[in-house]
Amino acid sequence: MATIKDIAKQAGVSISTVSYALNGSPKVTPETTERILAIAKELNYIPNAAARSLKTRETKIIGIFLTDFSGAFYGDLLQGTKETLTRKGYELIVCSGKQSHWMLPERMIDGAIILDVTFDSEDLIRYADRGHKLVVLDRELAHPNINQVLLDNKAGATLATEYLIEEGHREIYAVTGPGSSYDSKQRLQAVMQVVERTAGVQLHVIEGDFNKEGGELAAKAIMAGRRDGQAAAAVFCFNDEMAIGMMNYIAEHHSDIQVGEHIHIIGFDNMELASYSQPRLSTIDYSKRKWGALAAEQLVKLINSDAVENERIYVTLLKGKSVGTSK
């Protein structure tokens, strides 16, 4: 393991000269620089990240913290984040689980993007208080060292609900995420707002979990409560995963019931899996790549102490055959 010391010895210069040359400083003559670079290559010199960051107090690494690695959802988001960070000279690492949180306070990473409801807000604030820079994608958190890049949940939920109503549905089920989820709370609030200002609409709220099982359980509950001949039900699942779970459950246990005809389902996220559903799931779409890219951008600004404002990701309604008109 050659160090700058070895290079210095070999080149007959001091370590500071080597350091300058290696970093392309104009203080060193081109000739010496070249000579030093040649020796460095010859000795297979590789800098030591720990030593560098001990001194510079930065690692040029950004961490993104996810609830799990399941990934069905995050692909494009990570891609967007990575692209932007690469352009800005940062590396991206993906972390998951409480054990990994130390990387932030111990300065293994220069900043973090949070998309993990299991990450305590109090911890985040503590880190921010210590000067660490954060971007949160899953909660509201007002702090000079924290920036928010949030989905426009209200718009999305409003679009979804209004769509169901426009199609003539009057009995609407909302399958939420876990109670602790910020996104879920926002969406539910918007749904209730829409329902309240529309006469004759009945809303049933079912607590879900953002997983397939939640969708299945909700499906079970809904089917159990319905009698033959009753008006078709319309269900707004607060994410696609639950919507898919619901569709699966229905296909499996109620072959006589057709989604988009006897029961109508709309999701949220437009994940890849949704495009394979039969019939095509109606959902709320937004650019995950852009979300990630914007988060990265904001984080870098925060690190550079540039001024930042909280940002919002806009959403659109994507109509699929899983929602039909009420007869």
Partner DNA sequence: TTGTAAGCGTTATCAA
Partner DNA sequence: TTGATAACGCTTACAA
Which residues form the interface with DNA (CB under 7 A)? 1, 3-5, 12-17, 19-20, 22-23, 27-29, 31-32, 45-48, 51-52, 54-56
Which DSSP helix (H) or strand (E) runs through 151?
strand 146-151
Residue number with CB closer to DNA (49 or 231)? 49
The answer to whether 298 and 147 are in contact (CB under 8 A) is yes
Name the residue nearer to a second copy (CB basis): 105 or 179.
105
Residue 295 interacting partner from a second copy, DNA, none (CB closer than 5 to 8 Å by kind): none
- Tracing tokens 């909700």 back to the chain, one arrives at 218
Q: Which does 23 bind (CB under 5 to 8 A by kind): a second copy, DNA, none?
A: DNA
Question: Between residues 59 and 186, which has the closer beta carbon with respect to a second copy?
Answer: 59
Which one of DNA, a second copy, none is in contact with 280 (Cβ closer than 5 to 8 A by kind)? none
Taking the complex as a whole, the smallest distance from the CB of residue 292 to a second copy amounts, in Å, to 10
Task: State in angstroms the smallest separation of the CB of 110 from DNA.
Answer: 15
Q: Shortest gap between Cβ of 306 and a second copy (angstroms)?
A: 23
CA-CA distance, 165 to 107, in Å (whole number)?
51
Q: Whose CA is closest to 165, among 5, 325, 290, 295?
A: 325
Q: What does 258-303 look like in DSSP terms, one character per residue?
A: PBTTTEEEE-SS--GGGGGSSSPPBEEE--HHHHHHHHHHHHHHHH
Beta bridge partners, 236, equal: 174, 266
Residue 34 interacts with a second copy (CB under 8 A)? no
Q: Which partner from the list a second copy, DNA, none does 12 bind, CB cut-off 5 to 8 Å by kind?
A: DNA
Cα(51)–Cα(32) distance, rounded to whole angstroms? Answer: 24
CA R_g for the chain:
26
CB-nearer residue toward DNA: 1 or 307: 1
Q: What is the dihedral of CA 190, 145, 93, 105, to 10 degrees?
A: -120
Cα gap 114→133, rounded to integer Å: 11
Please classify residue 26 by burial: count the beta carbons closer than 10 Å to its beta carbon, then call 0-12 exposed, 13-18 middle and 19+ buried.
exposed
Q: In terms of CB distance, is 65 or 163 closer to a second copy?
A: 65
Q: Smaller CB distance to a second copy: residue 94 or 221?
A: 94
Could you say which of 12, 71, 144, 179 contacts a second copy (CB under 8 A)?
A: 71
Interface residues toward a second copy, by CB under 8 A: 1, 44, 46-51, 53-54, 59, 61, 63, 68-72, 74-75, 78-79, 82, 86, 91-97, 99-100, 102-103, 105-108, 130, 244, 248, 272-273, 276-278
